[in-house]
Structure 1
Amino acid sequence: MTLTTSTVNLGSMKGRETRQGRDTESAKLLYPTETFTKAPTRTEKDTGIFIQQGAYHFKNGARYVGDYAQNKKHGQGTFFYPDGSKYEGSWVEDLREGHGVYTYPNGDTYDGEWQHHLRHGQGTYQYKDTGAKYKGTWVDGNMELAGEYIYSNHRYQGNFVNNRPLGPGKYVFDIGCEQHGEYHKQEEERPEETLAPEVTLTWIPKGVSSMTSLAPVKEN
């Protein structure tokens, strides 16, 4: 995933603006390869920060449309990255922060919470090619703690560590049964010149039980 942040010196501006933002004219900054268009200001209720809306076209092909404050992306906005990915959601001082949806170049999507430019909190990552999705907790960009993988006819629910299931969990099948067990981590020996051992995960089944309720409804 390509992470792009840009702090831009907006330079000289045509138009005028009062502190209250009531006498602001739409203005356009003139650049040989980058353009920026802005609209009148408003005040952010919680912080008192003056927010403006604008559209900025970067010379590398990126484009931002949305709120900004003090020359930084701040508020709600959409950033179109040069690699074809897109983020639409909340920004705080040039960083993805709060709720947002990121669409990756391969068509995968993440819809959830962000902190300091990383997936953090509750969110859902959907894989375009398979239709599978992960729904659960993220910490510093990784799948961590409680979560579930959802497939077309079954799902896995359990604990995750560094993007992998680890420890106790269960597979829930749409036919109306569950398989309980644990994922164990095993380290395989590698040549001495290799710094880190190869880590594999092994599913240890504990038992199968019928579900007392009806089979779960498939999630779209």
Structure 2
Amino acid sequence: MELQKGKLTRTPSSLLRSPTVRSSIHSLSSIADDEEEEKPHRPHRHQPRHRHHLLHLLLLPLPFALIFFLFLYLRDDSPLFANVLLLSSLVTAASLAARRSALFRGGATAAVRRASSVDWFIGGAERKERRPVGRIVREGVEYYSNGDYYEGEFHKGRCNGSGVYYFFGKGRYEGDWIDGKYDGYGIESWARGSRYRGQYRQGLRHGFGVYKFYSGDSYAGEWFSGQSHGVGMQTCSDGSCYFGEFKCGIKHGLGYYHFRNGDKYAGEYFGDKIHGFGVYHFANGHCYEGSWHEGKKQGFGMYTFRTGDTRCGDWDSGVLKSPLLASDPAVQRAFQAARKSAENAILVPRMDPQVNKAVTAANRAATAARVAAIKAVQNRINGKFCDTDV
């Protein structure tokens, strides 16, 4: 089974957030109705009360005027009595003035208190309760319209840090996030049993990692933009194995293939097929060294039987078209080029240390993501909020 057959794609729409929008907007007519309802509650006796206060202010100086004239009348005949009368009137006037001043200040303070306790809302909109600053946390839970949900860390309204994303009925991702995308290290697993452990960049497998398919096939090596690209090893459930270069998810370049029937090939690949120069060892002991085209012997080459006999010449679609001597220059050039390509294919550097390092980092990132998910669920249960809309 080839690698591209087991490729699992993700649709970008699965990460689209679909927050539930609540509207508290009221029409202008409702605001006008509210204002009209307030008018009947205003008292209509304010004008008579103002006239009463005006009359009270006009009559207030009369007693003091009478006391003053009485003081002038008694000043010569009874000075002591007149002085006592004047002093008592002054004390009464001072206490009355102080009382009115205190009442005025008290009324103003009450008015200020009433004004400060009023909460104003446009159109009767519902007031949002302010969340205590100490209760806002980093970990939270968010649900999406397609059934997916995320548990983990947020920053500026996006998945950032460590977290677990659950695909509805399909699988999950556990690992690092940057700006709402997989970025760093993580583990991606699917319901049928496939799993990837390794590096990510901008939501795609990128760097080093191991992908194990539910069928038993696997690929371990370099990735680029979501595809096997670079040097890696592909193993299949039937026992076959390929190690070498990949390009855009297929075998391309130099590589070594061990077939399930025991055949072995080392040399050049092009477009997922044996193409170029290489050496093919058959399980029965035969060997072909020379030129290839799309998996068939094509061009000049040498076929050696296990008995030691050889057949050389120009080949066409696997059939010897023009027999030549082994010493023919064209045969020798193809023979040497095939052996050189086979040696280079075997010497392709292995990526095992880098892959193992990436897998270890992915396991750590997945563990941190699961811890963050547990905290997110606990925060939700305990009523702690994660401000995911900032």
Normalised to the residue count of structure 2, the TM-score between the two structures is 0.41
Does structure 1 residue 52 correspond to structure 2 residue 184? yes
Size of the aligned set, in residue pairs, is 184
- 1:206 is aligned, of 310, 324, 330, to 324
Q: Tell me how far apart the structure 2 counterparts of residues 182 and 158 of structure 1 sit (CA, whole Å).
A: 10
The correspondence for 1:80, drawn from 208, 212, 223, is 212
**How do residues 138-177 of structure 1 correspond to structure 2 at under 5 angstroms?**
138-151=269-282, 153-172=285-304
Tell whether the 8 Å contact from 2:222 to 2:228 is kept in structure 1 after alignment. yes
Alignment counterpart, residue 16 of structure 1, candidates 136, 149, 153? 153
The secondary structure found in structure 2 opposite 1:170 is: strand
Instruction: Judging by fraction of residues, say which structure has more helix.
Output: 2
Structure whose CA Rg is larger: 2
* CA displacement 1:151-203 (0-9 Å, x = unmatched): 46453111101111111101356887754323234xxxxxxxxxxxxxx6346
> Looking at both structures, which has the greater relative contact order when contacts are Cα pairs under 8 Å and sequence separation is at least 6?
2
In the alignment, which of 152, 164, 169 is matched to residue 28 of structure 1? 164
The runs of 5 or more residues in structure 1 that have no matched partner are 42-49, 186-199, 210-218
Pair 1:116-2:244 in alignment: no
Out of 202, 226, 234, the position equivalent to 1:94 is: 226
Report how far residue 5 of structure 1 moved.
3.3
Which residue in the other structure is 1:6 paired with? 9
The residue type equivalent to 2:164 in the other structure is K
Counterpart for residue 332 of structure 2: none
Q: Secondary structure at the match of 2:8?
A: coil
**Percent identity over paired residues:** 25
Greater share of strand residues, 1 or 2?
A: 1
User: 1:63 maps to what in 2?
Assistant: 195
Structure 2 stretches of 5 or more lacking a match? 16-147, 328-342, 347-390
d(CA) in 1 for partners of 2:288, 2:234: 24
- How far did 1:125 drift? 1.2
Q: 1:56–1:64: 8 Å Cα contact kept in structure 2?
A: yes
Distance in structure 1 (CA, Å) of the matches to 2:193 and 2:184: 22
